[in-house]
Amino acid sequence: MTAVKICGLMTVAAVTAAAKAGADYIGFVLTPSKRQVSLAQAANLRKMAGNAKVVGVFLEPTAVFIQEAIAVIGLDFVQIHGALPSDLLLERPLIKARSLMEPPVSNAVYAELIDAPTPGSGKVVDWSAITAGAHPLWLAGGLTAANVSEAIRIVKPAVVDVSSGVETNGSKDSNKIIQFITTVQQLTKEEQ
């Protein structure tokens, strides 16, 4: 069964739509970005997450900032793009993001996220170039309700991770969130 992560959530409506539709994970971007939320905003939005696990998304953060985010928000997972802090001692499972141009990650991670070179850009990753590694594979990069079934069939990821693929005019679209999750759930039922 492939799980779903809806990332870059910034509003109560989007978090509520994701939670009610059955998202397994929701992601809050905690680094400068058009989708960035503050720690306080993320802590408030977390209250709407229902049963979804909460992922904090970071770009080359300090270990101190990660620990602060875990404490303030109550993160279940930490997702890091770019370099890991040298003094990183995590209390939560680590999802290490990389593009296909970067080497596979070390053994000290929970999962490996394959994304486009510019996360959140909507650029589709070359699914045929992805090979299974030592860690559970999470797939991002240009996923939409229209292409996620094909991506799952080719890559067989543990988790599909979407952000721009559930947006309309740069804002999360509750209908697209529901459609994406429903598409993945239907495919999973067909494969059982």
Give the pLDDT of residue 192. Answer: 65
Biggest alpha carbon–alpha carbon distance for the chain: 45
Residue showing tokens 């303030």 = 72
- Is 7 in the active site? yes
Give the pLDDT of residue 121. Answer: 67
- The answer to whether 166 and 175 are in contact (CB under 8 A) is no
- Is 161 in the active site? no
| pLDDT tens, residue by residue, 130-157 | 877 778 899 999 999 999 999 999 999 9
Structural domain range at position 118: 3-191
Q: Rounded to an integer, what distance in angstroms lies between the CA atom of residue 19 and that of residue 13?
A: 10
| pLDDT tens, residue by residue, 112-122 | 988 877 776 67
Total domains present in the chain: 1
Which of 115, 126, 161, 173 is labelled catalytic? Answer: 115
Give the pLDDT of residue 120. Answer: 67
Write out the chain's pLDDT in tens, 192 residues: 899 999 999 999 999 999 999 999 999 999 999 999 999 999 999 999 999 999 999 999 999 999 999 999 999 999 999 988 888 877 899 999 988 877 777 767 889 988 877 776 677 888 888 877 778 899 999 999 999 999 999 999 999 999 999 999 999 999 999 999 999 999 977 776
Q: What is the CATH number of the domain that holds 61?
A: 3.20.20.70
Give the pLDDT of residue 102. Answer: 78
Give the pLDDT of residue 101. Answer: 78
Give the pLDDT of residue 140. Answer: 94
